[in-house]
Structure 1
Amino acid sequence: MSDPQETSDPSTFLSEIIGAPITVKLNSGVEYKGELSSVDGYMNIALEKTVEYVGGQVRNRYGDVFIRGNNVLYISQDVM
């Protein structure tokens, strides 16, 4: 895996961590934590084994989630 500081394109970094646990925070403040399944050029994200957090509290658990890229505030890789 390359050094994230050397990566100039976020989609390249995300494609390198497919299968890793990530956190996606939406513009609305809702957070989703799950395994990154796929990402496309528009930063649309598919997650597996997803947990939804609202106000820091678990709201729902989902198998698969698709998040449109224009709703994303940030994406971070979770350290295990």
Structure 2
Amino acid sequence: MDESPPQPPAESTPPPPPPSGLSGSPSDFLKGVVGKRVVVRLTSGVDYRGTGVLSCLDGYMNIALEQTEEHVNGAVTNRYGDAFIRGNNVLYISAAEPL
């Protein structure tokens, strides 16, 4: 049996910091996008884009958007002045502009 000498431990380097805008908790992100343009994807695959802003959001992810466009398969299908989206239909919220 060939026993090789023990190897020194590999140097551990800390992981790189997350890209800009990705640090913090989901709660921090949501607080940061209130008053900004967002894309809201529903579980059905429909996107709602606020050309105005995300005006409010509650603990159940219920969302109020201003100047909202509905996008189905990438095409605008409707425009609404204001829209209320029930939180249990939301798949995700994304910032439409850099944070």
Task: Tell me if both proteins adopt one fold, taking TM over 0.5 as the criterion.
Answer: yes
TM-score, structure 1 as length reference: 0.84
1:39 corresponds to which of 10, 35, 57? 57
- Larger strand proportion, structure 1 or 2? 1
Indicate if the aligned counterparts of 1:36 and 1:48 stay in contact, CA closer than 8 A: yes
Indicate the structure whose relative CO is greater, using CA pairs within 8 Å and at least 6 residues apart: 1
Which consecutive aligned stretches of 4+ in structure 1 deviate over 6 angstroms post-superposition? none
Q: Which has the larger radius of gyration?
A: 2
Unaligned runs of 5+ in 2: 1-19
2:92 is matched with: 74
Unaligned runs of 5+ in 1: none
2:41 corresponds to which of 25, 34, 39? 25
TM-score, structure 2 as length reference: 0.70
Question: Take 2:38 and 2:58, find their aligned partners in 1: how far apart are those partners?
Answer: 16
How far 1:13 moved relative to its partner? 2.1
Question: Take 1:4 and 1:72, find their aligned partners in 2: how far apart are those partners?
Answer: 21
1:51 is matched with: 69
The amino acid of 2:30's aligned partner reads L
Structure 1 pair 62–24 and aligned structure 2 pair: CA distance change class (3 A): same
How far 1:12 moved relative to its partner? 3.6
Structure 1 pair 22–53 and aligned structure 2 pair: CA distance change class (3 A): same
